[in-house]
Chains A and B, each alone.
Chain A
Amino acid sequence: MGEMSGSSTDVDFIQLLTPEGTLVSSDEYQNTCTDEQIAGFYRDMTLTRRIDTEATALQRQGELGLWASCLGQEAAQIGSGRALGGQDHVFPTYREHGVAWTLGIDPVDLLRLFRGVDLGGWDPDQTRFNLYTIVIGAQTLHATGYAMGLERDGLVGTGDPDRDAAVIGYLGDGATSQGDVSEAFVFAASYNAPVVFICQNNQWAISEPIERQSRIPLYRRSAGFGFPGVRVDGNDVLAMYAVTQQALERARSGSGPSFIEAYTYRMGAHTTSDDPTKYRLGDEVEHWRLKDPIARVKAYLVRNGAVTEDYFTEIDAEADDLAADLRKRCLELPEPRLVDAFDHVYAEQTPYLEEQKANYAAYLDTFTDDDQEDQLPVQGGVR
């Protein structure tokens, strides 16, 4: 396989923190983070993992219809998310819970889609985090178009750090096969758009290994479209931070798009509806467990005496509180009403839809109160 395979580990990647927790440096990239920042990454990743495991538990208890876990991908998400500047925008997939965390999205809002109370619970303009996209790859074109808009609006290459902006478009390894993604690459290159594509290569697209999508390492794809690509140890939060920061800076300054392949692994199932024992070997999971993104940061912090033991205890306590709060507020999410759904189809309501709504409301009125069934629990699940 070697260089021929999209999953090849023979290819170097950028790494700044080893799985054992020691700092290393590369020619191009150095760690610039203070110990305080690194301790902050530890907190971000630990809390993200807690949100993720709590959501998985909520799904198992029937409170969510589905959950797409980001277990094992915390470094790729926190490292890149923390590199975002105050004017940058994000176009996520459906799995970027860690990135959402870095932008201050209330975690309970992430649950709304998965609980089925609405189709996306935050304001993308205010949070600079677009709504989750289920159709694979579609968001890479949106990210590119948004970046083209920033450029037109004179928000790129001004040299003013309070003005210049860029976009990150996230995607999975499977998504690289979609036509939309190739088209996004063409547009981004052709218009020199200020967009950074971050591909979390977690090795699997549901049951299909990366070899089914690519015979070359993914980071080399972008060269064919005319912009740089780099492979990063996706389980290394420091490397992800440094490389993303540089790519965003490049985009903001007007030097165009770039592609980052975060080489990582999906520790859990694809989603709560998936059963990876049908296609994946246990050994592989064990191999990756040793590269855990959180453990290595902890090892670094301990080894260098950057924080006291209390720091970890405090964060564990914070995670417990966060999980309890998340659970409580998930159960308290108000039930939606179908009559309200008629109001959000068009900016200008149509007469026929108004009529449908009125007829439906009248139909509902024909039922007496004790006819009304209790809300059914969320049932089943899907990918």
Chain B
Amino acid sequence: MTTQVTATENTTATTGVRDPLVIAGHGFGSRLIMGTGGAPSLHILEEALTASGTEMTTVAMRRVSTQTEGSVWDVLRRNGIRPLPNTAGCFTATEALRTARLAREALGTEWVKLEVVADERTLLPDPVELLDAAEHLVDDGFIVLPYTNDDPVLARRLEQVGCAAVMPLGSPIGSGLGIRNPHNIELIVEQAGVPVILDAGIGTASEAALAMELGCDAVLLASAVTRAHEPVLMASAMRDAVTAGRGARLAGRIPVRRYAEASSPAPE
């Protein structure tokens, strides 16, 4: 495991926040980005978001329903949390562009979490449609944060077309399988000139910490908190895990050795 820090980790604070996460010139004090899907109620979601310390949270765009009670949009505004609309449910670049433009109109933000998936069973990103959508959205003035495969080549291409961050998956959405290919995540981190946000697959706190130790700049998760037995408790655990992993990354871990190395001085 490399201990070399990336350029984005050393970004000078512009907001007064110590060690901020900076995306497209905007500083965040928290490196945990939350999703809102799967929460048992808006009340529990609000408590979990507060406990997580998150400053940015994803929402989806769907048709207005008269059956809908309460509003996640109101929850975010009440707590001063920046909305990050996603394009979940889109299978083509055309659909993603339309959803992003509707989200920009509805929420007044140019930030978008770009999701273009290949099929319902895996929800894995479709790399061809994803890159096409990213290029068009950047040209249209969006701040694009793409959910991508753990593919260093695709991550590089997304950065080259102007994405503000890259968000490789640890494993499929909602699977809780953790980070299946840490080596690829490290490769993405090593080459990236924009923040790398580990998105999807996190199941528990140690996996969020591992993402940060691998050099990711932030972690995005939802199900691990919203579907936990105690969502609020897991949210605070994730907050601590991301902070701990970030600290360990910056501190620099000791080299892995094959045999013991005494930490006490040898006897006289």
The answer to whether A and B assemble together is no
Chain B interface (Cβ within 8 Å of chain A)? none
Chain A interface (Cβ within 8 Å of chain B)? none
